[in-house]
Amino acid sequence: MCGIAGFLYSTSASSADGAQRLAMARGMADALKHRGPDDQGAWDDGTGVTLAHRRLSIIDTSPMGHQPMLSQDGRYAITYNGEVYNFVSLRSELNALGCKFRGHSDTEVILAAIQVWGIEQALQRFTGMFSIALWDRARRELKLIRDRLGIKPLYYGWVKGTFVFGSELKAFKAYPGFAGGIDRQALCLYLRHGYIPAPRTIYTDIYKLLPGHLLSVPSGAAGMKDLTDEVYWSLRKVAECGMHDHMQDEVQALEAIEAVLRDAVALRMLSDVPLGAFLSGGVDSSLVVALMQAQSRKPVRTFSIGFAEREFDEAAQARAVARHLGTDHTELYVTPQAALEVIPMLPQMYDEPFADSSQIPTYLVSRLARSSVTVSLSGDGGDELFAGYDRYYRTMEIWRNISRWPLVLRRALGNAVTGLPTSVLQLPAALLQSFTRHEASADRLIKFATLLKSSDIEQLYGGLLGHWSDPEALVVNGRMPEYFLSNESNWAISNEPLENMCFADLNTYLPDDILTKIDRASMAVSLEARVPLLDHRLVEMSWRLPLRMKVRNGTSKWMLRSLLYKYVPRELVERPKMGFGVPIGEWLRGPLRDWADSLLETARLKRENFFDVGRIRRKWDEHVSGKRQWHYLLWDVLMFQAWLEHQ
């Protein structure tokens, strides 16, 4: 894994000589040293672009894998982050066509494939995760390319008229003249979801390249109007084609899934450095580890962490799976103090506000793994592909109940409840809890009243996904922009609500939350994380499965479970799904209270002028007193405040 950065010449950069431009690019790359501590390089041939690279050596650790790298014919220069796992077979094809190779890296194969087949055809042949910056010296054009699912990050934008790109926003901050103006529309999106959906970032004029996209930037580009953004792989087309070509034979489908997944795992086990896997004991990570061990001559290294708080602890289940599979297992029970020590590191780690609190244990398990290996496989992606999230079924249950009522009645009732002060709602909430024996509160009643007003199940799901329900009212001069989830036509692609919810998550939550989390947490300790369940061949095949092969008798991920039971007894993995979380709510009342108090101090909030101070303070006071549970919403604000302080 690596870090990439660079820029096209502009009035500011072209006035510098070659040595100065190289120094600027190296400075950007040095900000990404954690992504690539093993080697560094920069390249400028005086024709319009400067490229830089930081290398974490995984395949061909010799100097022959050094980047930036030129193609054999000298036309293309590349700086690249990621892995093309099928490079060995591609290399054989290219050898047969007369291509010669100096070393054994996949970077050389990428360049040769582009040279022989062209960019678009080469991309269709690549199986992997990657962000690529490719300079075409003949056309004087820069190509930025991101992998199909968005596993690897790639940012771009403008700094004082110069087109700049990098693996992380740290690279932009290292570019001379970067102002870092905060985009308040992006801040509204962040408060809505706990992450900033692509293509926006927290900074004005800086963007995320969307998954499966190829951006062409000609020399002399002066603004967004000069760029050409193409889709080389469309998840929408994959989903729509798959739903019209469903597999019908379950035995054949299971065999096909197993064959693709075994190959996906085998390809991701190719490494010239020590390799292991994260193991939580759940379905996805257990399946990945089982297929690794089935194809390994020695015990696979596996890693898990545990917590003393039982509701957050998965270590015992992971240990049982590891014992059954015969892996070389390492676990670490994390003290609250060790977890708390991670929190000051988060703003530096994530570059922009990011409020998924499982970022803490994800970093801790990455650090544990890095003590023994350089590459670790992960089970991310199974929930989105095979309908595994509990919230899908909760959404459908709520919709079945409320859709019996006329919409006009639901809206009237919802407006009536949301218009009442929370103090009035405390008594009915307490009565509801006593009758139903389910947790109820004024907050939950208000949330439910808001959901009552949903016109369809997709709108209901969008409401359930939200954190702050009215970020525009919370952010000073805030405005919610249009984005993927705000337009149901983007993601309501099926008559089956379950498929729509999975499709929405694959386009937003997966790349912008889950994959961002694992990339930054692992890269912070120079660990490469690989995700075999997101092999694009498996993604495409998953959309060819009818829902009866994903969900059966109330059990999700039926196909994955059926495959897993061939390797692991059912009783070892069948348990209620747990989130990879930490007890943030209690910590905010205890060991994190002073830290949070300083970030939410009234005078400070007024001086910074980003939020409605009164609303923030009321929620903080109510949470600290124990009257309310506002930690999910407060964590959003605290992560922004901590990030802002870090700036």
Collapsing DSSP states into helix, strand and coil, what is residue 159? Answer: strand
Collapsing DSSP states into helix, strand and coil, what is residue 411? Answer: helix
Count of alpha carbons within 13 angstroms of residue 170, beta-carbon side: 22
Question: Using an 8 Å Cβ cutoff, are 602 and 321 in contact?
Answer: no
Six token digits for residue 531: 């995700």
| Ordered strands of the 76-84 beta sheet | 69-70, 76-84, 128-136, 141-146, 213-218, 228-231
Length reported for the chain: 647
The closest alpha carbon to 275, from 187, 358, 361, 378, belongs to: 378
Collapsing DSSP states into helix, strand and coil, what is residue 572? Answer: helix
Question: Using an 8 Å Cβ cutoff, are 69 and 558 in contact?
Answer: no
Question: Using an 8 Å Cβ cutoff, are 109 and 90 in contact?
Answer: yes
Nearest-angstrom CA–CA distance, 27 and 477: 35
Q: How big is the CA angle at 322 (ends 317 and 325), to the nearest 5 degrees?
A: 130
Output b/e per residue, 583-620; b: 16+ Cβ within 10 A.
Answer: bbbebbeeebeebbeebbeeeebeeeebbebeebeebb
Nearest-angstrom CA–CA distance, 328 and 306: 17
Collapsing DSSP states into helix, strand and coil, what is residue 108? Answer: helix
Nearest-angstrom CA–CA distance, 377 and 384: 18
Residue 188 appears among annotated catalytic residues: no
Helix, strand, coil: what percent of the chain each, to 5?
A: 50, 15, 35
Using DSSP bridges, classify how beta strands 162-166 and 155-159 pair: parallel, antiparallel or unpaired.
antiparallel
Nearest-angstrom CA–CA distance, 21 and 414: 59
Six token digits for residue 10: 């502009």
Nearest-angstrom CA–CA distance, 220 and 59: 35
Element (H, E) at 142: strand 141-146
Nearest-angstrom CA–CA distance, 165 and 8: 9
Q: Which amino acid is at 74?
A: G
Question: Using an 8 Å Cβ cutoff, are 58 and 272 in contact?
Answer: yes
Name the CA dihedral angle for 148, 153, 154, 157, rounded to a multiple of 10 degrees.
120
Alpha carbon of 181 to those of 171, 185, 186, 478, 596: distances in Å? 15, 12, 11, 14, 24
Q: Is the peptide bond before 68 cis (omega within 30 degrees of 0)?
A: yes
Matching residue, tokens 């329900």: 469
- What string of H, E and C letters represents the secondary structure of 4-69? EEEEECCHHHHCCCHHHHHHHHHHHHHCCHHHCECEEEEEECCCCEEEEEEECCCCCCCHHHCCCE
For the chain, how far is it from start to end, CA to CA, in angstroms?
Answer: 26
Nearest-angstrom CA–CA distance, 504 and 119: 29
At residue 634, φ and ψ (nearest 5 deg) are: -65, -35
Element (H, E) at 448: helix 442-452
Alpha carbon of 211 to those of 7, 121, 148, 154, 592: distances in Å? 21, 17, 5, 9, 36
Catalytic residues: 2
